[in-house]
């Protein structure tokens, strides 16, 4: 990725079987050289249409993936998509 992100997890109704998903939640774990491209970093930090993006450290990334993104508001387990770069 242009920004130098190491891992990306995508969540929200986008990864469900909803006919018309309305949100995409993303958590990004930056790599050692983050940001590689300051313009890309700015786009990530200021958001993109229909995307909720968080750029976090390893501890927050692990918690979001294992707990927050792993279950819905009724605490039912759900899926997510991970991209490892």
Total residues found in the chain within this entry: 85
Q: Which domain holds residue 15?
A: 5-84
Q: Which pLDDT belongs to residue 7? A: 93
27 touches 70 (CB < 8 A): no
pLDDT for 58: 95
Q: How many CB atoms lie within 10 A of CB 45?
A: 13
Task: Check residue 1 and give its pLDDT.
Answer: 59
Strands (E), 1-85: 5-11, 24-30, 51-55, 81-84
What pLDDT tens digit does each residue of the chain (85 aa) get? Answer: 578 889 999 887 776 777 777 778 889 999 888 888 888 888 888 877 778 888 999 999 999 999 888 887 788 888 888 888 8
pLDDT of amino acid 63: 94
Q: Are strands 81-84 and 5-11 parallel, antiparallel or unpaired?
A: antiparallel
The number of distinct structural domains making up the chain is 1
């Amino acid at each position: 990725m242009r920004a130098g992100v190491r891992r990306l997890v995508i969540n929200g109704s986008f990864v469900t079987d909803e006919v018309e998903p309305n949100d995409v939640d993303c958590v990004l774990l930056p790599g050692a050289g983050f940001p590689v491209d300051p313009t890309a970093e700015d786009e990530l930090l200021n958001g993109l249409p229909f995307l909720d993006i968080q750029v976090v450290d390893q501890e927050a990334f692990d918690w979001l993936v294992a707990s927050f993104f792993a279950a819905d508001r009724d605490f039912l387990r759900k899926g997510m998509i991970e991209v490892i770069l």
